[in-house]
Structure 1
Amino acid sequence: MSADKPTVLLVEDEAAQREVLAYNLEAEGFVVARAENGEEALLLVEELVPDLVVLDWMLPNVSGIEVCRRIKSRAETRNVPIIMLTARSEEGDRVRGLETGADDYVVKPYSVAELMARVRTQLRRTRPAALGQVLTFDDILLDSETHKVTRQEKPLKLGPTEFRLLTTFMEKPGRVWSREALLDRVWGRDIYVDTRTVDVHIGRLRKALCQHGGDDPVRTVRGAGYALG
């Protein structure tokens, strides 16, 4: 998973369709992982924990509906939004897809522009900062587009790693992040960083957030990790 750009897992067995969608998703600024069948999709979901899955209903061997069910049954991936693509327009199938945990449903043939809009809608819910939105928590305001942070309307100086840490916390206030989860989200999976490095940067973030006074909003959860608020 990229530290800044959202990762979309695209699961589509038709090569031409897969490449058209991947091209458009990449043009929107997303990192795209591709899978052509259900087994490959499930392996990639476990490995990457993507920010969103675009999933074709009709897949060889393991069906899209089964892939959806398995993703939503695991605690680590339960909250990953899934958009199902299907040629079936019958209402019963749509209900079945949604009951299995799909977050949205696009019937083929669809316009690529419509699918991109739905992808952005789902990511706005789960990764708002990646789409340039302003995040707020108590008296802290983070503008992900201008990379500016203020507290009590006073500007804060944050390094790039502290900015990404704060973004991660502010996208999901109250959620407890383990050091390993923070490493994956903030540093990226491909980079080896010692978990103690997380503690060092959390210390810097705390210092930065309190540079004009105020309580430390970052909470240490013993044996589990860190949370905002």
Structure 2
Amino acid sequence: MRPTIVIGSGDGDLCFIARHLLEHSGFATSLQSEANDIVIAARQDSVCALLIDGRVRDAVSACAQICDLRAGSAIIIVALVDPGAHGQGLAFLNAGADEVFTRPVPPSHLLRALMMQGTTQRLRYGDIEMDMAARRVWRADCPVYLPRIEFAILRYFLLQPDRISDRREIIRQCWPSGIYVDCKTVNVHIGRLRRCLRIGGAPDPIRTVRGIGYGIGSVNPSLPERRARWRAKP
């Protein structure tokens, strides 16, 4: 089951853009426009984050209820308020929201806040495992040490396994905004990621489709005996 992000808003444009970006990045979404429905949706086990719009009636109250419910979970709450609504923004923070944005805000900023914080569970593909909160990676139970960009690329791939992404999309998702990155630079970081993941002679898990891009998809999780051989190599 994919991690789910609840989008609590009656703004059709916001819902359309947020849903498109999040589902394109490997998340499931739940669209809700009423405070009570937002609270109910946030109770689902698969929910990892919430984007709540201050334009929703009783939005701050819904935020407070969800914060009470999440005592034993890792739901992250990102709120969106209108210009000049400083009091509402402060109310969201007092209610327990993790971050508040003021309109207008680039969709990529909302996406990054939800994705970077909202995936606190471990991601797994084959024998590759990532702990988002601790920023740690293992392959076949062996620790893998990744620089920041390589970690971001692997995380992006793990969120949408078996999907091929072009270089421009990888740049948008994995590099800080406002920084120019040449597409050839992606090749360099993919090469570094490959070398890091081929620990102990393990097969290359990165799939390349010439003329299109990269993804993860060549790990066969049904071969524990091969994994044992990888770990046995010096």
Q: What is the TM-score with the length of structure 1 in the denominator?
A: 0.54
> Any idea what SS the aligned residue of 1:145 has?
coil
Count how many residue pairs are aligned between Structure 1 and Structure 2: 155
Q: Structure 2, unaligned stretches of length 5 or more?
A: 38-49, 78-110, 218-234
Q: Which of 23, 32, 36 pairs up with 1:84?
A: 32
Q: Which of 146, 161, 168 pairs up with 2:134?
A: 146
Q: Which of 132, 157, 162 pairs up with 1:169?
A: 157
Whether 1:218 aligns to 2:164 is no
CA deviations 1:29-61 (Å, max 9, x no partner) are: xxxxxxxxxxxxxxxxxxxxxx87542x2xxxx
After TM superposition, the structure 1 stretch with the greater mean CA deviation from structure 2, 166-175 or 104-113, is 104-113
Whether the 8 Å contact between 2:35 and 2:62 is mirrored in structure 1 is: no
Whether 1:183 aligns to 2:171 is yes
Question: CA separation in 2, counterparts of 1:193 and 1:104?
Answer: 29
Residue identity matched to 1:111: A
Q: Which of 120, 127, 142 pairs up with 2:75?
A: 120
Question: CA separation in 2, counterparts of 1:143 and 1:114?
Answer: 28
Shift of 1:192: 0.9
Question: CA separation in 1, counterparts of 2:185 and 2:31?
Answer: 36
Question: Structure 1 vs Structure 2: percent identity of aligned residues?
Answer: 31
Whether the 8 Å contact between 1:68 and 1:82 is mirrored in structure 2 is: no
Question: CA separation in 2, counterparts of 1:201 and 1:69?
Answer: 33
Whether the 8 Å contact between 1:157 and 1:208 is mirrored in structure 2 is: yes
Question: CA separation in 1, counterparts of 2:117 and 2:124?
Answer: 11
Aligned to 2:223: none
Whether 1:133 aligns to 2:121 is yes
Whether the 8 Å contact between 1:127 and 1:171 is mirrored in structure 2 is: no
What RMSD, in angstroms, separates the aligned Cα atoms of the two structures?
Answer: 3.9
Q: Which of 54, 62, 71 pairs up with 1:111?
A: 62
Whether the 8 Å contact between 2:146 and 2:193 is mirrored in structure 1 is: yes
Aligned to 1:155: 143
Task: Please list, as runs of the form range in 1=range in 2, the aligned pairs for 1:36-51 lying within 5 A after superposition.
Answer: none
Question: CA separation in 1, counterparts of 2:189 and 2:178?
Answer: 19
After TM superposition, the structure 1 stretch with the greater mean CA deviation from structure 2, 126-135 or 169-178, is 126-135
Shift of 1:213: 1.3
CA deviations 1:147-203 (Å, max 9, x no partner) are: 221111111121111111111111111121111111111103311111111110000
Gap change, CA 1:218 and 1:83, over 3 Å in 2: same
Aligned to 1:67: 13
Q: What is the TM-score with the length of structure 2 in the denominator?
A: 0.53
Question: CA separation in 2, counterparts of 1:223 and 1:199?
Answer: 12
Gap change, CA 1:111 and 1:159, over 3 Å in 2: same
Question: CA separation in 1, counterparts of 2:131 and 2:196?
Answer: 16
Shift of 1:220: 0.6
Whether the 8 Å contact between 1:129 and 1:135 is mirrored in structure 2 is: no
Q: Structure 1, unaligned stretches of length 5 or more?
A: 1-50, 58-63, 90-102
Whether 1:200 aligns to 2:224 is no
Question: CA separation in 2, counterparts of 1:69 and 1:194?
Answer: 31
